[in-house]
Structures are given as C-alpha cells and as structure tokens.
Amino acid sequence: MRIGILGGTFNPIHFGHLHIAEEVLKSCALDQIWFLPTCQPPHKELAVEVSFSDRLAMVAAAVVDEERFVACDLEGRRGGPSYSVETLEQLRRTFPLHDFYFIMGLDSFQEIGLWKNYPRLFELAHLVVTARPGFSGSLRQLLPVAIADRFCYDAKSKNLAHAAGFSVFSVTHTSRDISSTAVRKLLLLGGDVRELIPAAVYEYIRRHHLYRNA
C-alpha cells in the first residue's frame, strides 16, 4: 500500500490539516494517510499541556468518517521526543511491504538540515513537500549542500530522485490559513471555532474542558 505519513502536534487538529491530507492523497495517488500525533516535539515546547491521549482522540474523531484516514498512536507508544527518522525506521520495520510518503510543509523542508540524522530520511521514504500556490522555487536549491549530490532531476516525473530510490515531490495545497494556535486562542476567548475544526473535535474539546487555560 502507498501510505502518506502526516505528523504534527495536532493541538488541536483542524480543517487545514485535513485539507492538506486530502490534496496529497489525490495528488500522489495514495491509499491512505496516517495521522501521527507527536508524543514530545523535539524542537519546541508543546503549547498548552494537552495529553497525547487527548490529541490522539481528537485526531480519531476528526477522521472517523474517512476510511482512508487513520489515527496512529505509534509515537505515543514509543514515548520520548518524536524524531521523524526514528518513526520512519520503525514504520519500515513493522510494515516492510508498504511504500511510505512523508508529508511536510515547505517551511519544515527549508529547515530539514537541523533535523536529527536528516540524510537518513531520504533513504526511508518518499518526501512530499506541500507549498502554497505561487511557490516557484526549486526544491533542489533548498536541499542541504551536504546531500545535494545524492539527487538527480527526474524529467519524467518532474521530481527529485534520491540515489536510494525514493523521490521528493512537491504538492500545491490551497487550504485556508488556519493554525492550531489561532484555534486555541479563540477557544480561550469563547469564540466560534466551528468553521475551523470538525464538529466531533469541537465536541471532544467541550466535553473534556480543553484549552480553557491556554
């Protein structure tokens, strides 16, 4: 199976996350998208102490009606900092017959040289870089210099091909500007967030009294 991997704190998950997943699913002809909430973000503090179990439950609620979307608890079960390279290595060991597509935003791709053992990422999965309409730059130019010579341009697919056999794809996404930070602030102020998050997620937040002291 062709599986997209979309990680994040999902604190909380919102329509922006779901829209990106839908566009990548279609653009890359994937079978499923797995949503992986981070246990502990390695590069920043988790804004607002909402437990992993709560964040996973919100993801599960958000994707319950889409059979091609799956809430995955892998990083919570592993515990500790959620390094992407360790997640992909574990996925490859557990599901050796699956073809994984690791999804990240353009801003994250620009900083990938700061990630733990980042060259290994390109040896474990395809990378799908999502960008807003209007991005006209070259992903090759954004690669860390130390690994640039491991890639070539595949004219047939119009993507970067790594020596290990995986590719780097660019997918344009058109979702509205929604952030989890903005959702949390609205919730704290008693604002209406029902156009920003799925109804099931809103109901979970309400029942469990989340984000009241954000």
CATH classification of the domain holding 174 = 3.40.50.620
Residue 214 has pLDDT above 50, yes or no: no
Whole-model pTM: value is 0.93
Residue type at 92 in one-letter notation: R
Please give the Cα distance from 150 to 35 (Å, whole number): 29
Instruction: Kindly state whether residue 54 falls inside one of the protein's structural domains.
Output: yes
Instruction: Kindly state whether residue 204 falls inside one of the protein's structural domains.
Output: no
- In this prediction, residue 85 carries a pLDDT of 97
In this prediction, residues 155-171 reach a mean pLDDT of 88
Structure tokens at 52: 């992993």
What are the tens digits of pLDDT across the range 139-149?
A: 888 999 999 99
Task: State the total domains in the chain.
Answer: 1
In this prediction, residues 120-126 reach a mean pLDDT of 97
Instruction: Kindly state whether residue 111 falls inside one of the protein's structural domains.
Output: yes
| Least confident span in 37-51, 117-131, 192-206 | 37-51
User: Which of 139, 209, 133, 210 is CA-nearest to residue 170?
Assistant: 139
Model confidence at 213, in pLDDT bands (50, 70, 90)? low
| SS3 label, residue 40 | strand
- In this prediction, residue 176 carries a pLDDT of 74
Instruction: Kindly state whether residue 188 falls inside one of the protein's structural domains.
Output: no
Instruction: Kindly state whether residue 192 falls inside one of the protein's structural domains.
Output: no
Residue 45 has pLDDT above 70, yes or no: no
Q: Do residues 10 and 59 make contact, with C-beta atoms less than 8 angstroms apart?
A: yes
In this prediction, residues 78-99 reach a mean pLDDT of 95
- In this prediction, residue 46 carries a pLDDT of 67
Model confidence at 162, in pLDDT bands (50, 70, 90)? very high
Range of the domain at 147: 2-178
Q: Which residues, listed in sequence order, are joined to residue 201 by a DSSP beta bridge?
A: none
Average pLDDT for the chain: 92
| DSSP for 45-77, written as a single string | PPSS---HHHHHHHHHHHHTT-TTEEE--HHHH
In terms of Cβ atoms closer than 10 Å to its own Cβ (0-12, 13-18, 19+), residue 92 is middle
Instruction: Kindly state whether residue 207 falls inside one of the protein's structural domains.
Output: no
Instruction: Kindly state whether residue 209 falls inside one of the protein's structural domains.
Output: no
Residue 37 has pLDDT above 70, yes or no: yes
In this prediction, residues 61-65 reach a mean pLDDT of 97
In this prediction, residues 38-55 reach a mean pLDDT of 82
Structure tokens at 142: 């954004």
- In this prediction, residue 177 carries a pLDDT of 80
Instruction: Kindly state whether residue 76 falls inside one of the protein's structural domains.
Output: yes
